[in-house]
Amino acid sequence: MSSHPPILLYPDVFHKFLNKKKTVANIDRDFYEWHLGRKKYSLWGITISSNEIEERIKSAHKQLGDYLLSPYSRQSHITLFVCGFLNYKAKDKDDYSLEQLDLQIKNLRNEKINPFSIEIGGINSFLISPFLEVEDTESGIKKIRHALSIRHKENRQEKYVPHITFGLYSGEYSTKKIAEKFSKLGAKTVYKVDHIKFLYYDPANINGLLKTEKIFWF
């Protein structure tokens, strides 16, 4: 295989991955020092309901499965906006209140977003996890993030990149060796988006399943 993926929507992410030489090892444990007993970590996202995309994910996972934690049970999704720990009232800086949720829903309504299409592409990788690239072909994701960002600071440390994570690295592996396993997954897959979800998961579980709190239809 080539040391470069055949298609790169986000070459800066890939070069950062290669430059670090080693992946970050994920540990399957309860990070209590992070969640401090809080039960719901929340986000806005697009959940994937497509056999074609799921087959694409399976193909990608097959290429890199030897390097990933097993099992990886979180549902396929695209994170749109990381909110924080869901609480009735925000007490800590990484909390997210019901009042904030109501305001974000109001801002989404005001944005008047129509259903839109995205395209699911090939494999790329962060240091902690490989992913499928997502192309925001009709700027629908950009509009959503604009609405959600009004009077809200996202709980994010890195530049936003739309993607579908399909696993977490289980050890410190050579990034060059992993990149050499990236191969073509065929033509991009078009996916129609007519709603998004406000989701949460149990932060005590690194593979915590996503649960739906709200659905917002366009």
Q: Tell me: the pLDDT tens digits for 181-204?
A: 998 888 999 999 999 999 999 999
pLDDT at 4 over 70: no
pLDDT at 157 over 90: no
- The residues, ordered by sequence, that sit 6+ positions from 197 with a Cβ below 8 Å of its Cβ are 44, 45, 46, 47, 212, 213, 214, 215, 216
Lowest mean pLDDT among 47-51, 75-79, 169-173, 181-185: 181-185
Question: SS3 of 103, please?
Answer: helix
pLDDT at residue number 7:
63
Query: Which whole number is the average pLDDT over 90-108?
Result: 92
Domain membership of residue 2 (yes or no) is no
Domain membership of residue 4 (yes or no) is no
CA-closest candidate to residue 143, choices 49, 44, 213: 44
d(CA 158, CA 12): 12
- The residues, ordered by sequence, that sit 6+ positions from 84 with a Cβ below 8 Å of its Cβ are 41, 42, 90, 94, 95, 96, 155
Lowest mean pLDDT among 44-48, 70-74, 79-83, 129-133: 70-74
Q: What is the number of structural domains in the chain?
A: 1
pLDDT band at 5 (very low <50, low <70, confident <90, very high): very low
Burial of 110 per CB tally in 10 Å (0-12, 13-18, 19+): exposed
pLDDT at residue number 3:
47
Domain membership of residue 50 (yes or no) is yes
Domain membership of residue 20 (yes or no) is yes
Domain membership of residue 162 (yes or no) is yes
147 token code pair: 């609405």
pLDDT at residue number 214:
98
- Percent of the chain topping pLDDT 90: 85
Strand pairing class (130-135; 163-165): antiparallel
The domain that contains 130 carries what CATH number? 3.90.1140.10
pLDDT at residue number 212:
98
pLDDT at residue number 185:
87
pLDDT band at 6 (very low <50, low <70, confident <90, very high): low
pLDDT at residue number 1:
46
For 101, phi then psi, to 5°, come to -60, -45
Angle, helices 98-111 vs 140-149, to 10°: value is 140
| Cβ–Cβ under 8 Å, residues 154 and 146 | no
Its domain, for residue 116, covers 11-28+37-217
- The residues, ordered by sequence, that sit 6+ positions from 43 with a Cβ below 8 Å of its Cβ are 79, 80, 81, 82, 83, 198, 199, 200
Domain membership of residue 23 (yes or no) is yes
pLDDT at 95 over 90: yes
Query: Which whole number is the average pLDDT over 35-40?
Result: 94
Domain membership of residue 5 (yes or no) is no
| Cβ–Cβ under 8 Å, residues 181 and 78 | no
Domain membership of residue 3 (yes or no) is no
